[in-house]
Amino acid sequence: MLSEEERFEPSRTIERNLGMELIRVTEAAALSAGRWMGKGNKEMVDQAAVDAMRHAVDGVDMHGVVVIGEGEKDEAPMLYIGEEIGNGNKPEVDVAVDPVDGTRLLALGLPGALAVIATAERGSMYSAPPGVYYMEKIAVGPAMKNVIDINAPVAVNLDRIARARQSRIDDLTAVILDRPRHQDIIRQVREAGARIRLITDGDVAAAIQAAMEDYRGIDIMLGIGGAPEAVLAAAALKCLGGEIQCKIWPRTEEERARFKADGIDMDKVYRTEDLVSSNDVSFAATGITSGDLLDGVQYFGWGARTSSIMMRSHSGTVRYIQARHKWRKGVVQG
């Protein structure tokens, strides 16, 4: 039976159903890619996930256009930017996908690989200018969304967060990608007195954990990561009520000069609303290898188990979904 809200606002019912369908898409990608865990083949990891996700998304009740995907059409045969996906019915949405967030993690059998998809109203997702691959980022949860400033020193942001949490800086934990480019950020965090959790890959999951009110293992995500991942993180944080701030980051002086010549503003701060302006956002992810956010795929003779998360911006609802997938009906579990 529909609630009063759903009875009189059918668009919300559509979004709710779409969110459940998105879980089936990420489950398909995770189940297929998970077979390649630890086998050292990044290309097959990615291909398995893309093939499964693209096949599954055909049945989703939406008219989607890929805004964040596997690249341009001449580089990616499927899930390329601009590709129309879904069954063509309403709603009309932008789609951001990362069939494997953490391809290297999965190929090496390391924790934290996810299959991810997000949707928002058509025209509401940010698409980085050509050639822009990285962004400087800071992400926090709802209680800290109005206190952070990506242009402020690290110590200032940590102090503001500690005050908002009514705690001390040395109570805080910052998550940072373990990269040489982050040596100065790591130094500043240590000098301020906060704790650090270094991760090898997967800053979408890190941003989500920093924004979750019921997950207190991480208080802030800092550092430079992929521009497409910034949009996916923003979609999740739109549902969680958190905040991400980003700035375009050139990798080299030559790239900086090219951005400047192309009129790209490297000082502009992109906030959550700039990356995903819609208030009608759905986000889904399924664990491929077990991590702090989600358990990975488990295979059995009778089938498999998956662990997923689904979020909606309208209600702020976060659902954790444990699914059992049987290869054949009537097979008895061991």
What pLDDT is attached to residue 18?
80
Q: Give the chain's mean pLDDT.
A: 91
- What is the pLDDT, as a whole number, of residue 14? 42
Measure the CA–CA gap between 111 and 201, rounded to whole angstroms: 9
- Residue 280, marked binder: no
Is 180 marked as a binding-site residue? yes
pLDDT at 17: 62
Give the amino acid at 147. V
State the pLDDT at residue 5: 46
Does the annotation place 201 within a ligand binding site? yes
Q: Of 24-33, 197-206, 278-287, 324-333, which range is least confident?
A: 324-333
Annotated ligand binding at 46? The verdict is: yes
* pLDDT (mean) for 156-184: 96
38 annotated to bind ligand: no
Per DSSP, the three-state class of 4 is helix
The radius of gyration of the chain from alpha carbons, rounded to an integer in Å, stands at 20
Confidence (pLDDT) at 20:
86
Within 13 A of 146's CA, how many CA atoms are on the CB side? 2
pLDDT of residue 77: 84
Residue located via tokens 């290898």: 289
pLDDT exceeds cutoff 60 at 229: yes
For residue 132, the one-letter residue type is V
Percent share of the chain, pLDDT over 90: 83
101 has binding-site annotation = yes
Is residue 240 within 8 A of residue 316, CB to CB? The reply is: yes
Task: State the average pLDDT over residues 191-212.
Answer: 94
pLDDT confidence of residue 316: 86
The reply to whether 181 sits in an annotated binding site is: yes
252 annotated binding-site participant: no
pLDDT at position 72: 76
The answer on whether 242 is annotated among ligand-binding residues is: no
190 labelled as ligand-binding? no
In the chain, the domains with their CATH numbers are 18-122+280-326 (3.30.540.10), 134-275 (3.40.190.90)
Does the annotation flag 102 for ligand binding? Answer: yes
Given a cut of 80, is residue 91 above it in pLDDT?
yes
What confidence tier does 331 reach under pLDDT thresholds 50, 70, 90? low
Q: Is 134 annotated as a binding residue?
A: yes
pLDDT at 68 over 60: yes
What pTM was computed for the model? 0.90
Token pair, residue 37, equals 């865990």
Q: Is residue 274 marked as binding?
A: no
123-133 per-position pLDDT tens digit: 999 999 989 99
Identify the weakest region by mean pLDDT among 134-148, 255-269, 275-289, 314-328: 314-328
Nearest to 276 by CA among 77, 110, 143, 96: 96
The predicted pLDDT at position 36 comes to 97
Cβ neighbours of residue 188 closer than 8 Å, sequence gap 6 or more:
153, 154, 155
* Residue 284: closest CA among 13, 19, 15: 19
Residue range 2-14: average pLDDT?
46
Q: Over 90: is that where the pLDDT of 73 sits?
A: no
| Measured CA distances, 118 to 98, 197, 226 (Å) | 9, 26, 16
CA distance 285 to 114: 6
Q: Tell me how many degrees the CA angle 24-214-221 measures, rounded to the nearest 5.
A: 85
